[in-house]
Structure 1
Amino acid sequence: MSDFINETVATQLKKNRTGKGWSLDVASQHCGVSKAMLGQIERGESSPTIAKLWKIATGFNLPLSAFLGVNNEQTSHIQGLLADKKVSINTLFEFDKHTGIEMFELCFAIGHEQYSEAHQTGVLEHIVVTCGEMEYFCGDQWHRLNTGESAKFNADQAHGYRNVGNDLLRFFNIIHYP
C-alpha cells in the first residue's frame, strides 16, 4: 500500500476510534484485531490486508469505504492493498447513507483467493463478473460465475472469492448495509 493510502487508513481509523470514544483495547474487542496491530495501522507502520480492513469496518459497524477516505480523489483507486499485490480495489460509489449502498470494482490475479469474515447482520453483497471466471464461497460451498453472470448473497456469514480462470478476474461488488 502506498504511503498516502497508509496515512489515509491510519487517519480514518484513529478518527473513527476516537469518535466512538474507544481505546485501542475496546476497538480490538469489537474488531477481532489485536490491539498491537490496530496501533501499528493507526501509526502508519503496518498495511492491513483487505480482509483485516473488513474486520475493522465490521467491528466499527461502518462500510469499508469509511476507512479508505474515498471522498479524496487520490484514494478513489487503490492498487495492491495486499502486500503481494494480487488484488486491487476501485471505489466506484462511496457509501451513501440514504441508500445504504457502496460499490467497488475488484481485480484478482490468476489463482488469487480472498476470504472475509461475516459482516454486520443484514448486509447483502451483489457481485457481477465483468471479465474472467470466479467462484464465490457462501453457505459452506463454492459457486461458479463466468463473465456476465451475477449473484446476491447474505454477507453476514463467512464468504470468499477466488479467480479460477486463466486471466485477470474483474468483478463489481455492490454492498448493501441495512
Structure 2
Amino acid sequence: MSKRTPKIGPAVQKERKRKGLTLEQLALRSGVSKSMLSQIERGEANPTFAVVWSLTQALEIDVAELIGGTSSQRQTVQIEITTGTLTPRIQSADGLCQLKILGPPRLAGQTEWYEVEIQPGGRLESDPHTLGTFEHFTSLDGEFQVQSGAVSVVLKEGETAHYPADVAHAIANAGTETVRGLLVVLYK
C-alpha cells in the first residue's frame, strides 16, 4: 500500500484565489518567490516545510487546511489526533530520505520532531541552524552514521545521539536495509 504526498499546489492556488491574491501579492506576503509559487501551484516543485509554513502564515490558514482537510478530530477539549494520512511528509530530492513531521506547526522554529526513514545509501544533510540549536536523534531500528561538524559516530539501534546542529550536520544510512529514527530539533 503506497502513501501519496498531499497535493499542496492546487490547494495553495485555490486558497490564494479565494482570498483574491495574485501570485505577486502572495509572494510579498510569504517571502516565497513568485516563480517558486508558480512551480508549487503547477505541481512542479515539492516545497520544504519552511516554505509550507510561510505560505500558511501568509494565507492565514492551518497546515492541515492546506494539505486537504481537518488536521485533527477532537476527542476531548485537550486531545487532538492527526491522522496518518494528514501527517505532512518531506522527501529528499533523491527520494532516499523521508521525514514525517510529527510536531505541531505552531512550534516550528522552536521545537520540532520528525520520524526519519532513510533507504540504503541515503544521506540527510543539513546546513547549520541558528546558533545554539541542538538535535537529538534516536535509532528506532538499524545503524546510522551521525555527523556534526567534523565529528562522526555510528549510532546503533536503541541509542540516541545529542549533537550541535548550528554547524553542518548529517544523518546517513550506510547499511543495506531501510532504517528509521526519531529526530528532535531544539532551537535556542
Query: What TM-score do the two structures reach when normalised by structure 2?
Result: 0.62
3-state SS in 1 of match to 2:155: strand
Residue 77 (structure 2) aligns with = none
2: CA distance, partners of 1:122 / 1:103: 17
1: CA distance, partners of 2:144 / 2:87: 24
Task: Flag the 1:88–1:5 CA change in 2: closer, same or farther, 3 A.
Answer: farther
Q: Indicate which of 77, 84, 87 corresponds to 1:76.
A: 87
1: CA distance, partners of 2:50 / 2:127: 7
**Equivalent residue letter for 1:47:** A
Matched residue count: 156
**Amino-acid identity (%):** 23
Residue 27 (structure 1) aligns with = 31
Shift of 1:68: 5.9
**Equivalent residue letter for 1:4:** P
3-state SS in 2 of match to 1:130: strand
Is residue 2:48 matched to residue 1:53? Answer: yes
Q: Indicate which of 5, 8, 11 corresponds to 1:6.
A: 8
Task: Flag the 1:103–1:6 CA change in 2: closer, same or farther, 3 A.
Answer: same
Task: Flag the 1:58–1:10 CA change in 2: closer, same or farther, 3 A.
Answer: closer
1: CA distance, partners of 2:12 / 2:44: 9
Q: Which of 1 and 2 has higher RCO (CA within 8 Å, sep 6+)?
A: 1
Deviations 1:90-140 (A, max 9, x none): 23332554xx32211111111111211122233221100010111122112
Task: Flag the 1:9–1:110 CA change in 2: closer, same or farther, 3 A.
Answer: farther
Task: Flag the 1:171–1:153 CA change in 2: closer, same or farther, 3 A.
Answer: same
Residue 106 (structure 1) aligns with = 116
Task: Flag the 1:121–1:110 CA change in 2: closer, same or farther, 3 A.
Answer: same
Task: Flag the 1:7–1:153 CA change in 2: closer, same or farther, 3 A.
Answer: same
Contact 1:6 1:47 in 2 (8 A): no
Contact 2:101 2:113 in 1 (8 A): yes
Contact 1:68 1:75 in 2 (8 A): no
1: CA distance, partners of 2:152 / 2:62: 29
3-state SS in 2 of match to 1:90: strand
2: CA distance, partners of 1:67 / 1:47: 20
Is residue 2:35 matched to residue 1:36? Answer: yes
Contact 1:57 1:67 in 2 (8 A): no
Task: Flag the 1:145–1:58 CA change in 2: closer, same or farther, 3 A.
Answer: farther
Shift of 1:85: 3.2
Task: Flag the 1:110–1:130 CA change in 2: closer, same or farther, 3 A.
Answer: same
**Equivalent residue letter for 2:146:** Y
Q: Indicate which of 133, 157, 163 corresponds to 2:173.
A: 163
Q: Extract structure 1 runs of 4+ deviating beyond 6 A.
A: 57-60
Shift of 1:173: 0.3
Task: Give the root-mean-square deviation of aligned CA atoms.
Answer: 4.0
3-state SS in 2 of match to 1:153: strand
Query: What TM-score do the two structures reach when normalised by structure 1?
Result: 0.64
